[in-house]
Amino acid sequence: MEKLVIVDVYPDLLGTYGDGGNAEILKFRSQLRGYDVEIIRSDSTEPLVKNGDIYLLGGGEDAPQRLAKELLEKSGALSSALESGAVVLGVCAGYQILGESYVSNGNIESGLGLIEVSTSRKSSTRHVGEIIAKSPVLNGYLLTGYENHASETYLGKSVKPLGSVIKGSGNFTKYEGSNNFSEGVIYKTVVGTYLHGPVLARNPKFADYILEMKLGRLESIDDTEIEALRDERLSIVLNSSGAQSFGHHIGSFLTARKV
Amino acid sequence: MSLRVKIASAAGEMASIASRSLKIGNGDAIGGRTALFIDGDILKVLGRNVKTVLVSGTNGKTTTNRIVYEVISKNLDSKCAYNSNGANMEAGIAYSLINSKNATYGTFEVDELYFEKIGYELNPTAVVLTNLSRDQLDRSNEVRRIAASWERFFGRNSELCVVANCQDPLIVYSLRKSKNVTWVNPGFSWYLDAKSCLICNSQIIFSNDEWACSGCDFKMPNAQIKVANKVIEIDGIKQVEVDLQIPGRCNVGNFAFSLGLAVMLGIDIEKAKDAAEGVSDVAGRYEVFSMDEVEFKFRLLLAKNPAGWQEALSMVEDSSMPVVVALNAQVADGKDPSWIYDVSFEELKNRHVICCGQRARDMGVRLYYAGLAHEVVHDFSLALKSKRLHEEVAKVAEKTGLKLSDVTVDIIANYTSFQAFRTLLGKSVSLNGK
């Protein structure tokens, strides 16, 4: 590969929850393996690049999310890139619009329909807090992040969940008889997740998984500093017990003592 | 004053004194909460006799409110109540009113999420709106939710005098029915939370310090007051040169809001300027401290969210001097620090950065990915004593020919970590104004 092109899709609309960091992380980790990398931050006022290798869509508020979906539909660049083998990672609002439906200001809207998932809002609960999900695709690797969304997402038969929720809500729906909520989705080269953090900052193996879809097997690198962060987050969140709000309380108590 | 209000006020004062003497806190919020528990309408009742100014927005509330307080209390020959400690919800404001008997004016910073409720209760004389941007999204969920609640309030109070930021589409939207607005262009540069139109959801195009919707007639109003570097233009004619003691271009903007309010209240511009220029630190912001057994000094900067960090980083001197950054994630900070990836820490390259606070490791990883030399020391006090920090300071001082006693190291901290540093350094000596 001559140069890896990472496209941050509409950061001015889908960049509200810090997910823009995912692009930097992919760049850093592939550069460390000797690849030439370019990040294209493609604002909504410019035409979306067609020849990207990895497309990243982050979280955004309801109205900007709807605008992003409309622009993506009009542009067609994302679906044509996908047909040429591009990898797409959607987070939160960016994940929802990849599916068949999503909710904007209380109304069900049609999504881009790139994957067989649908998002609706049956309960008024907003899912806000630390989340941990175990990922079978990543050999049981624990994904850690922070979720902040209001809808629930249903996975169709053609797709697989990215993980199974241990703490938090994730998709807030259950997959094929599992007792846990599922989290995120994988379908061919499309990956969706509710995790912020940003998700690739707190989960380097997941970052490499995304890169390897494009670059093939990657040699391992020194992740000591990131592993220390993972250990801290995982132990604080896993050791917090019971209901989410109670869990938060204990979590902050434990960290407060560390300071 | 009814007996109930008297009892509520007295109980509030007692609770506050108890809290202070037991060193639980500064006593403002607990005093107000106690009073509110006895009389839920106390804010409404006490506010009736006071002409109030409310200052709200994501960033700059405390500083703008402080300047407004100076301008009013130095020029209007009247006692002015204000929530100096930053307790900006109902309880804190109630306590300020209880605590300032006979005040004829009151100026209060108000938490943006509570603004609508407090606005209805206090029925203010004037309102100042600074800006709206992403902050504590675990609590507010969406910035636009706040804009919608403000729009409801101002829709029902369309005659109210408002001084507001015309650069911010979220604020302009919230005031779309207001008839009495002084528009200020404060020269702020954050607009990433307002790229889709709040009326028709088309794209808003920003260019050359102006913005307009590409799909409807929603656009930036003309400013009556405009900041250009250190000069503030009023009505395109009068120019006021500003020489504030507090640093940063954002504070010139915050002063411009206060100037708009001064004009509205009939206060002489030069006198308002004198009052503002007397402010050297605001509730610990920009305060310079010396510490026992440390030859150099520390300066405290507050930065709570991406827009705030962008401003704070612009205040850090362009050198290779180390910087301390502190990150907590308590309720008051927002529990999700993902936003640190919206801050261009790359600006701190070529220096050593010490990360401290509850979420120091998150900050460490952020800086690792930015390629910055850094170390993680969770504990605030140990961070300031870091051997590496002291070695780096000495090295840079030697290279630049500075005496150690002339070196000031910046500490940039988010809300609760800032308060922790204030407590820690408060035991040392504050050097502002000396």
Q: What is the mean predicted confidence (pLDDT) over A158-184? A: 95
Last residue of a domain, one of B222, B244, B277: B277
At B18, the pLDDT band (50, 70, 90 cuts) reads confident
- Measuring CA to CA, how many Å separate B295 from each of B282, B289, B291, B407? 25, 11, 8, 8
Residue among B196, B205, B147 nearest B172 (CA):
B147
| Long-range interactions of B394-399: CB distance < 8 A, separation 24+ | B396/B319, B396/B320, B396/B321, B396/B322, B397/B296, B399/B320
Q: Give a yes or no: residue B102 inside a domain.
A: yes
Same domain, B346 and B384: yes
| DSSP secondary structure code for residue A53 in this structure | S
Same domain, B207 and B103: yes
Q: Please name the residue of chain A whose CA is at the shortest distance from the CA of residue B377.
A: A259
Last residue of a domain, one of B251, B277, B303: B277
Mark yes or no for CB contact B196/A21 under 8 Å. Answer: no
Tell me the CATH number at B212: 3.40.1190.10
Same domain, B357 and B424: yes
What is the pLDDT, as a whole number, of residue B34? 83
Higher pLDDT, A172 or A252: A172
Q: Give a yes or no: residue B29 inside a domain.
A: no
Is B431's pLDDT higher than 70? Answer: no
Instruction: State whether ipTM is beyond 0.90.
Output: yes
Same domain, B268 and B391: no
CA angle at B58 for the pair B52 and B63, rounded to the nearest 5°: 60
Q: Give a yes or no: residue B1 inside a domain.
A: no
Query: What is the count of structural domains for chain B?
Result: 2
Same domain, B226 and B308: no
Q: Please name the residue of chain B whose CA is at the shortest distance from the CA of residue A201.
A: B365
- Positive/negative CA dihedral, A60, A63, A66, A68: negative
Same domain, B294 and B382: yes
What is the pLDDT, as a whole number, of residue A1? 74
- Annotated catalytic residues of A are 92, 196
Same domain, B140 and B208: yes
What is the pLDDT, as a whole number, of residue A241? 61
**Residue A250 in contact with residue A130, Cβ under 8 Å?**
no
Report d(CA A87, CA B234) in Å as an integer. 53
Q: What is the mean predicted confidence (pLDDT) over A195-200? A: 98
Is A248's pLDDT higher than 80? Answer: no
Same domain, B188 and B261: yes
Give the one of A64, A148, A255 whose C-beta lies nearest to B141's C-beta. A148
Mind listing the pLDDT tens digit for each residue in B375-427?
Answer: 999 999 999 999 999 999 999 999 999 999 999 999 999 999 999 999 898 76
Report d(CA B61, CA B69) in Å as an integer. 12
Mark yes or no for CB contact B338/A19 under 8 Å. Answer: yes
Mark yes or no for CB contact B201/A67 under 8 Å. Answer: yes
Tell me the CATH number at B328: 3.90.190
Report d(CA A29, CA A257) in Å as an integer. 33
At B27, the pLDDT band (50, 70, 90 cuts) reads confident
Same domain, B63 and B187: yes
Q: What is the mean predicted confidence (pLDDT) over B256-274? A: 95
Is B184's pLDDT higher than 50? Answer: yes
Give the one of A18, A67, A252 whose C-beta lies nearest to B341's C-beta. A18
Is A92's pLDDT higher than 50? Answer: yes
Give the one of A44, A63, A198 whose C-beta lies nearest to B338's C-beta. A198
Q: Give a yes or no: residue B32 inside a domain.
A: no
Q: Give a yes or no: residue B190 inside a domain.
A: yes
Q: Give a yes or no: residue B17 inside a domain.
A: no
What is the pLDDT, as a whole number, of residue B428? 61
Same domain, B196 and B304: no
Which range has the worst mean pLDDT, A26-40, A86-100, A213-227, B134-148?
B134-148
Is A245's pLDDT higher than 70? Answer: no
What is the pLDDT, as a whole number, of residue B429? 60
**Residue B98 in contact with residue B77, Cβ under 8 Å?**
no
Mark yes or no for CB contact A18/B198 under 8 Å. Answer: no
Mark yes or no for CB contact B364/A63 under 8 Å. Answer: no
Same domain, B139 and B180: yes
Can you state the angle between helices B269-277 and B61-75, rounded to 10 degrees?
120
Same domain, B294 and B364: yes
At B51, the pLDDT band (50, 70, 90 cuts) reads very high
What is the pLDDT, as a whole number, of residue B30? 83
Q: Give a yes or no: residue B21 inside a domain.
A: no
Is B433's pLDDT higher than 80? Answer: no
Q: What is the mean predicted confidence (pLDDT) over B7-29? A: 80
Q: What is the mean predicted confidence (pLDDT) over A209-231? A: 97
Residues in chain B whose beta carbon is closer than 8 A to a beta carbon of chain A? 134, 137-138, 141-144, 192-193, 195-196, 198, 201-203, 205, 328-331, 335-336, 338-342, 357-359, 361-362, 364-366, 368-371, 376, 378-380, 420
Q: What is the mean pLDDT of chain B?
A: 92
Q: What is the mean predicted confidence (pLDDT) over A151-161? A: 96
**Residue B58 in contact with residue B117, Cβ under 8 Å?**
no
Report d(CA B268, CA B262) in Å as an integer. 7
**Residue A49 in contact with residue A96, Cβ under 8 Å?**
no
Mind listing the pLDDT tens digit for each residue in B199-222?
Answer: 999 999 999 889 999 999 999 999
Domains, chain A, in order of start with CATH, read 4-221 (3.40.50.880), 222-259 (no CATH)
Higher pLDDT, B99 or B222: B222
Last residue of a domain, one of B226, B253, B277: B277
Give the one of A28, A62, A197 whose C-beta lies nearest to B142's C-beta. A62
Domain that holds residue B117: 41-277
Q: Give a yes or no: residue B7 inside a domain.
A: no
What is the pLDDT, as a whole number, of residue B434? 40
- Residue B1 token pair: 């004053």
Is B20's pLDDT higher than 90? Answer: no
Q: B204 — phi, psi (to 5°)? A: -95, 130
Q: A129 — phi, psi (to 5°)? A: 150, 180
